[in-house]
A and B are shown apart, each in its own frame.
Chain A
Amino acid sequence: MHSRGSLLIALVMTAVPALGAQAPGRVQVESFTLPNGLRVHLVEDHSAQVVAVNVWYDVGSRNERAGRTGFAHLFEHMMFQGSANVKKAEHGQFIERAGGQLNGSTQPDRTNYYNEVPSNRLNLALWLEADRMRSLAVNAENLKNQQEAVKEERRLRFDNAPYTAAFVDSLPTLFDRASCFAYAHSIIGSMDDLNAATVTDVKAFFDLYYAPNNAVLVIVGDFQPAQARRMVTEYFGGIARGATPPAVTCAPQGATGREVVRRIPDRNANLPAILTAYRAVPPSHADYPALELLSTIIGGGESSRLNRTLVRDAKVAVAAQSLFNPFGPMRGAGIFGALVIANQGVDVDTLRARFAREMTTVAQGITPDELTKAKNSWRSSTIFGRQTAIATSEAVHYAAMYLGSPDAINSDAARYEAVTLADLRRVAATYLRPDNSLTLVIVPEAK
Chain B
Amino acid sequence: MSPLAGSTLRRQTAAAHFARVSAWPLVAAGACLIVTAPLAAQFPTRPPAPMPLQPAQFPPFAETVLANGMRVLVVSNAKQPVLSLTLAVPGGSFYDAAGRAGTAEMMAGLLTKGAGARTAEQISATIEGVGGSLGASAGPDFLTVSAAVLSNDRRLAFELLADAALRPTFPATEIELLRKQTLTSLALAKSQPASIAGEAFAKGLYGDHPYGRTADEASVAAITRDDLAAFHGQRMRPNQALLVIAGAIDTLEARQLAEETFGAWGGVAAGAPVTRAAPQRARTEIILVHRAGSVQSNIIVGNTTWMATDTRGYALTLANQIVGGASDSRLFQILREQKGWTYGAYSSVARRKGLGSFSATAEVRTEVTDSSLVEMLAQLRRAGSTPFPADEFERQKQTLVGRFPLQVETADAVAAQVANARLLGLATDYVQTYRQRLAAVTAEQAQAAARMGMRVDGALVVVVGDATKILDRLRAIAPVTMVDVDGKPMTVEDLAPKVVALALDRARITAGSDSFAVLVQGQNFGYQVSSLERDGDGWVYKERSQLATVIQQSTEVRFGADLAMRSAAQTGKFQGADLRLNVRYADGKATGEGVTPGAGGMQPVNFTGVDVPPGTIDDNAIQGLLPFFQWAPGVTVNVSILSSGKGVVRVNTYQVTGEETITIPLGTVETYRVSFTGGDAPGTYWIEKAAAHRVMKFGPVGQPVEFARVR
| A residues lining the B interface (CB < 8 Å) | 1-2, 6-7, 10-11, 13-16, 19-25, 34-36, 45-50, 82-85, 87, 93-94, 96-101, 116-124, 127-128, 130-131, 134-139, 141, 199, 203, 206-207, 211, 222, 233-235, 237-241, 267, 270, 301, 303, 318, 343-345, 373, 376-381, 383-384, 386-389, 444, 447
- Report A49 CB to chain B, min CB distance, Å: 4
| A-B pairs with lowest CB-CB distance, top 3 | A99-B402, A380-B131, A238-B40
Known contacts: A1-B177, A84-B8, A124-B48. The answer to whether A22 contacts B150 by CB under 8 A is yes
Considering only residues 37-64 of chain B, those with a C-beta below 8 Å from chain A are 39-48, 50-54, 56-57, 59
Interchain CB contact (< 8 A) of A303 among B125, B131, B411, B548? B125
Question: How far apart sit A382 and B105, CA to CA, in the bound complex (Å)?
Answer: 33
Extra contacts besides A2-B121, A25-B81, A99-B399 (16): CB < 8 Å = A1-B173, A6-B119, A34-B35, A48-B408, A97-B328, A99-B398, A100-B402, A121-B51, A130-B43, A139-B1, A240-B11, A303-B128, A377-B128, A383-B80, A384-B131, A387-B410
Please name the residue on chain B nearest to A380 by beta carbon: B131
CA distance A202 to B20 in the complex (A): 23
The contact sample of 11 A-B pairs, CB cut-off 8 A, is A6-B121, A14-B129, A16-B129, A35-B31, A36-B17, A47-B79, A50-B405, A84-B8, A139-B5, A267-B576, A388-B409
Docked CA distance A82–B8 (Å):
9
C-beta contact mask, B94-125 vs A, less than 8 Å → 1, else 0?
A: 00000000000000000000000001111001
Which residues from A are CB-within-8-Å of B131? 376-381, 384
A49 near B9 with CB under 8 A, answer no
Total residues of chain B contacting the partner, CB 8 A: 87
In Å, the complex CA distance between A128 and B45 comes to 10
The interface residues of chain B lying within 8 Å CB-to-CB of A447 are 549, 576
- Does B130 make an interface contact (CB < 8 A)? yes
In the bound complex, what is the Cα–Cα distance between A302 and B408 (angstroms)? 32
A20, A82, A384 — most chain B CB neighbours (10 Å): A384
The docked-state distance in angstroms from the alpha carbon of A373 to that of B129 is 6
Q: Which chain A residue has the least Cβ–Cβ distance from B521?
A: A318
Given contacts A36-B32, A379-B150, A380-B130, contact A239 B53 (CB under 8 A): no
Most A Cβ at <10 Å: residue of B53, B402, B409: B402
Q: Is the CB of A237 within 8 A of B40?
A: yes
With contact pairs A240-B12, A383-B80, A387-B79 given, residues A134 and B43 touching in the complex (Cβ less than 8 Å) = yes
Least CB separation from B40: chain A residue: A238
Residue B24 lies at the interface, judged by CB distance under 8 Å to chain A: yes
The answer to whether B150 touches A380 (Cβ under 8 A) is yes
CA distance A7 to B4 in the complex (A): 67
Contact for A19 among B7, B31, B152, CB less than 8 A: B152
Say if the beta carbon of B192 comes within 8 Å of chain A: no
> What are the residues of chain B within 8 A of A234 when measuring CB–CB?
39
Residues of B within 8 A of A96 (CB): 326, 328, 399
Asked if B669 is an interface residue, CB under 8 A from chain A, the answer is: no
**How far does the Cβ of B437 sit from chain A's closest Cβ, in whole Å?**
16
Contact of B398 among A1, A21, A97, A134 (CB under 8 A): A97
Q: Does B275 contact A (CB under 8 A)?
A: no
Give Cα distance in the complex from A117 to B59, angstroms.
19
Q: Report whether A84 and B29 are in contact in the complex, using a CB–CB cutoff of 8 Å.
A: no
CB-defined contacts of A344 to chain B, threshold 8 Å: 523-525
Contacts of B184 in A (CB 8 A): none
Q: How far is the CA of A138 from the CA of B3 in the complex (A)?
A: 10
A99 touches B328 (CB 8 A): no
Once bound together, how far apart are the Cα atoms of A229 and B125, in whole Å?
Answer: 48
**Which of B17, B20, B44, B51 is the one whose CB lies under 8 Å from A122?**
B51
Query: CB-CB contacts of B382-420 with A at 8 A, as 1s and 0s?
Result: 000000000000010011111111101111100000000
Across-interface contacts of B48 in A (CB, < 8 A): 123-124, 127
Chain B residues lying within 8 Å of A22, measured Cβ to Cβ, are 81, 150-152
Cα A6 to Cα B43 in complex, Å, equals: 67
CB of A118 within 8 A of CB of B129, answer no
Chain A residues whose C-beta falls within 8 Å of the C-beta of B177 in the assembled complex: 1
Whether A120 contacts B59 by the Cβ 8 Å rule is no
A391 to chain B, nearest CB (A): 10
Is B36 within 8 A of A383, CB to CB?
no
Q: How far is the CA of A261 from the CA of B82 in the complex (A)?
A: 45
Judge whether A120 and B150 touch: CB under 8 Å.
Answer: no
Complex Cα gap A235–B46 (Å)? 12
User: In chain A, what residue has the closest Cβ to B519?
Assistant: A344
Whether the pair A376, B130 counts as a contact (CB closer than 8 A) is yes
Interface residue B132 (Cβ < 8 Å from any Cβ of A): yes
Per the bound structure, the CA–CA distance linking A69 and B164 in Å amounts to 54
Q: Which residues of B have CB within 8 Å of A82?
A: 3
- The CA of A389 and the CA of B409, in the complex, are separated in Å by 8
By beta carbon, the residue of chain B nearest A49 is B405
B224 interface residue (CB < 8 Å to A):
no
Nearest Cβ in chain B — how far from A186, in angstroms? 24
Q: Are B7 and A137 in contact (CB under 8 A)?
A: yes
Q: In the complex, what residues of A have CB within 8 A of residue B4's CB?
A: 84
Bound CA span A285–B505, Å: 78
B3 pairs with A35, CB closer than 8 A = no
Contact B53 A35 (CB under 8 A): no
Q: Tell me the complex Cα distance, A2–B171, Å.
A: 13
Given contacts A47-B79, A99-B403, A121-B402, are A84 and B10 in contact (CB under 8 A)?
A: yes
List, in ascending order, chain A residues with CB within 8 A of B320's CB. Answer: none
Please tell me if the beta carbons of A11 and B125 are within 8 angstroms of each other in the complex: yes
Evaluate contact between B80 and A49: CB separation under 8 angstroms.
no
Q: Which of B10, B57, B59, B80 contacts A134 (CB 8 A)?
A: B10
Interchain CB contact under 8 A, A35 and B82: no
Contact A98 B398, beta carbon cutoff 8 Å: yes
Q: A85 near B45 (CB under 8 angstroms)? A: yes
Instruction: Indicate if B21 sits at the interface (CB-CB under 8 A).
Output: yes
- Bound CA span A12–B59, Å: 40
Please determine whether A240 and B8 come into contact, CB atoms closer than 8 angstroms. Answer: no
Across the interface, which residues of B come within 8 angstroms of A121, CB to CB?
50-51, 402
> Per a CB cutoff under 8 Å, which of A83, A117, A131 touches B402?
A117
Residues of A within 8 A of B51 (CB): 119-123
- Whether A124 pairs with B79 at a CB distance below 8 angstroms is no
Find out whether the CB atom of A124 lies under 8 angstroms from the CB atom of B50: yes
Q: Which of A16, A100, A137 contacts B8 (CB 8 A)?
A: A137
Closest B residue to A48 by beta carbon equals B409
**A7 close to B81 (CB less than 8 A):** no
Q: Given A136-B9, A241-B20, A447-B576, are A35 and B29 also a contact pair (CB < 8 Å)?
A: yes
Kindly identify which residue among B45, B128, B406, B524 contacts A99, using a CB–CB cutoff of 8 Å.
B406
Contact B129 A135, beta carbon cutoff 8 Å: no
Residues of B within 8 A of A237 (CB): 32, 35-36, 39-40
Q: From the candidates B9, B44, B151, B152, name the one contacting A206 in the complex (CB within 8 A).
A: B9
A135 CB, nearest partner CB in chain B, Å: 5
B622 within 8 A of A: no
B630: Cβ under 8 A from any A Cβ: no
A211–chain B nearest beta-carbon distance, Å: 8
Q: B57 CB to closest chain A CB, in angstroms? A: 7
B513 interface contact, C-beta 8 A: no
B151: chain A residues at CB < 8 Å are 22
Contacts of B508-525 to chain A: CB distance below 8 A: 523-525
Known: A237-B39, A241-B20. A137 touches B130 (CB 8 A): no
**B28 contacts A by Cβ under 8 Å:** yes
Contact of A139 among B7, B119, B125 (CB under 8 A): B7
Residue in chain B with minimal CB distance to A269: B549
- Whether B692 sits at the interface, judged by CB under 8 Å, is no
